[in-house]
Structure 1
Amino acid sequence: MTRCISDENATERVVQCAPFVEEGCVLGDVFQSEAWFANLLAHGFERPPRGHWALPLPSRSSEPVHLHLMQESSAGSLCSLSNYYSCLYGPVGSTRAIQDVSVAQWQAAAHALRQLPGSSVLRLQPLDADGAWLAGLEGGLRAAGYWTDRFFCFGNWYQPVPGGGFADYWRQRPSALRHSVERGRRRLDRAGGAWHIDIIADASPGLDACLAAYLAVYAKSWKSPEPCPDFMPALVRMAAREGWLRLGVLWLGEQPLAAQVWLVCDGKANIYKLAYVKGQERLSAGSVLTAALMQRAMDVDRVLEVDYLSGDDAYKRDWMAMRRERVGLVAFDPRRLPGLLAAGRHFAGRMLRRR
């Protein structure tokens, strides 16, 4: 548990918590951790997968590295243990241990994969296109006789943190965004009640109240109800135990107006969920809260990168300076009829789209 103190001024209170770095955590691997996959499997599916396997990957060390795979139905393909809650997918374990592994070792992993149900067709997503493990697996699958292809998943906006921290970052933002946040703060000051921001980073006494506030804000926002209502409460509590949680709530008096869930691990802050109360847009509560969490991540947690995760929403360009793409990998086993038929449909459709 991290130690928290309270820092108050006239309008804003941020629960400041000591920066947390998990031993062995690599940049951005929240979505490649056993804790993430356990929570997703327990709470993140409307129907549980028919089967779930951990496929060992070749490694240059004694540390195990594996992929979590699943089959959603008896007739379904083999795919990554991921869905609409997943912003990145990859192996659990040190990715450094699988660098420079030979094609023959990757080919052996592909032969092991072929023994799993549904392996006539393999589909993994969303992936870091530049990941060394992905190139290795793709080469091993081809060596084992699979036909492979990559496809676009979504755009991903992110922000490397400048040397001067939040102050430098904020000076680099568009003037329209900076003025919007300033106006929002002034309007909150004039809104008839004191406003403040809480940021919870562990399983402190304030966690339950801020989690309830997040759920209340989400229910009053423009967003559709969660398909798996137990997922976010379980994720928040799991992230609090792991030290990843940054749960921010902006309050006007006793009413929560905006709430966000960030996941911070060893140098990377992931902006996972955000919502504000519909009808209160003029107060810019969401933008004011984002700025506060951004300052916290850059100046207190001292992250190297802030990631807006999935989607090319226009507003993300104001907050982030860089864009990359997340991709998917599909592989077909032409030695089996289901794989051959699926490959025919896939590559024929791709050819027609190009025309």
Structure 2
Amino acid sequence: MPEVFETAEWFENLREYGFEDPPMTVWMAASNAESAPGVALGLMPVAGQRTGLASLSNYYASLYGPVGDCRDLPPATWRALAQRVRAHAQGAIVVLQPLDEQGAFAQGMARGLREAGYWVDRFFCFGNWYLRLNGQTYEHYYEQRPSALRHSIERGRRRLDRRGGWSLSIHTGAGEGLAEAIAAFEVVYGQSWKQAEPCPQFMPNLMRLAAAQGWLRLGLLSVDGAPVAAQLWLVYGGKANIYKLAYVQGQERFSPGSVLTAAMMRHVIDTDRVQEVDYLTGDDAYKQDWMGARRERIGLIAFDPLTASGLLAAARHFGARAVKRLSA
């Protein structure tokens, strides 16, 4: 399934606005003569080290992979891509994360790195809750949710109805009202329990990009015209990615987050007709109530043993792993 986090537009926005200091980027390309144009891999120097290449990703990226469809690339193409990485001046150490454990990129790249001469290991990044819809409607989906979640949503709506003056809106494009919706999202985020964004321009620019690309699902719940809950979802390739959620502290009696999530779910299931909903990063307990299954996102770390820095880093890494196993 195509991923929004593997598009050229995502990477451009991430590099420009998602780092306190935009990193120098390195793009490695490889193609199969029978399936051009192949794929392009976005990399950057490993932060704080004299050598090493890392995936062009950080805390804003819930998944990493190449630009381009890599599902049918043959082993020779993966090996050629890994050889290009190894030939780079900083290619002694390679760190790629977070990856789809079962995806073509994680499996093909790991094999290519090994065949190119790297010593390769994998590590756990985080748990990922998701839902495969298999054609079901929102009503069918909702009936299967735990009773405690359904009661929370319905209780919140009743309290909002008694309070009066509340509204829901979902913005999907770059038309009139987008600027106000983005401003409302930032107001909610600033009054929520969440820490301020380390890169304050990233989210507004991501929302504008998503609107221009057709990815945007920006939900707002307001009371008396004041936003009290906001959510940014990204819809791409038949998949709804639940990217950022927040509600104003002190409004918990209305369950604004759950009420808004239910409305967003209805929209992506019945209107967008997505095949999958993904809660992205983290094993938070509440995500299990909304989703249907869990998988893991992993990372790959690779060392070139024919370089001094690669060999030393490998000795430290695998030595630490051995000590941990012995002391367990």
What is the TM-score of this pair, normalised by structure 2? 0.96
Bigger mean CA deviation after superposition, 81-90 or 339-348: 339-348
* Structure 2: runs of 5+ lacking an equivalent: none
Q: 2:174 and 2:283 mapped to 1: Cα distance?
A: 33
Q: Which residue of 1 aligns with 2:14?
A: 40
Q: 1:333 and 1:205 mapped to 2: Cα distance?
A: 53
**Offset, 1:109:** 2.0
Partner secondary structure for residue 25 of structure 2 = strand
| Equivalent of 2:108 in 136, 145, 170 | 136
Q: Which residue of 2 aligns with 1:70?
A: 44
- Give the letter aligned to residue 161 of structure 2: D
1:257-272, aligned counterparts within 5 Å?
A: 257-272=228-243
Q: 1:217 and 1:28 mapped to 2: Cα distance?
A: 31
Q: Which residue of 2 aligns with 1:164?
A: 136
Q: 1:353 and 1:230 mapped to 2: Cα distance?
A: 41
Q: 1:222 and 1:30 mapped to 2: Cα distance?
A: 27
* Pairwise CA RMSD: 1.3
1:217–1:41 distance in 2 versus 1, CA, 3 Å: same
Does residue 160 of structure 2 align to residue 188 of structure 1? yes
| Equivalent of 2:27 in 29, 54, 61 | 54
Q: Check conservation: 1:58, 1:106, Cα contact below 8 A.
A: no
1:210-221, aligned counterparts within 5 Å?
A: 210-221=181-192
What is the TM-score of this pair, normalised by structure 1? 0.89
| Equivalent of 2:251 in 254, 275, 280 | 280
Q: 1:212 and 1:188 mapped to 2: Cα distance?
A: 23
**Offset, 1:70:** 0.7
- Give the letter aligned to residue 52 of structure 1: T
Aligned residue pairs total: 324
Q: Which residue of 2 aligns with 1:86?
A: 61
Q: 1:195 and 1:206 mapped to 2: Cα distance?
A: 18
Q: 2:77 and 2:156 mapped to 1: Cα distance?
A: 56
1:99-118, aligned counterparts within 5 Å?
A: 101-102=74-75, 104-118=76-90
Q: 2:105 and 2:251 mapped to 1: Cα distance?
A: 45
Q: 1:318 and 1:335 mapped to 2: Cα distance?
A: 49
- Give the letter aligned to residue 68 of structure 1: G
Q: Check conservation: 1:162, 1:168, Cα contact below 8 A.
A: no
Does residue 318 of structure 2 align to residue 347 of structure 1? yes
Q: Which residue of 2 aligns with 1:18?
A: none
Q: 2:151 and 2:188 mapped to 1: Cα distance?
A: 25
Q: 1:87 and 1:117 mapped to 2: Cα distance?
A: 28
Q: Which residue of 1 aligns with 2:169?
A: 198
**Offset, 1:150:** 0.5
1:145–1:162 distance in 2 versus 1, CA, 3 Å: closer
Q: Which residue of 2 aligns with 1:29?
A: 3
Q: Which residue of 2 aligns with 1:291?
A: 262
- Once the two structures are superposed, what CA deviation does each residue of 1:252-291 show, in whole Å capped at 9, x if it has no partner? 1111010000000121000000000011111101100000
Q: Which residue of 2 aligns with 1:147?
A: 119
| Equivalent of 1:96 in 59, 71, 75 | 71
- Give the letter aligned to residue 170 of structure 2: I
Q: 1:69 and 1:33 mapped to 2: Cα distance?
A: 14
Identity of aligned residues (%): 56
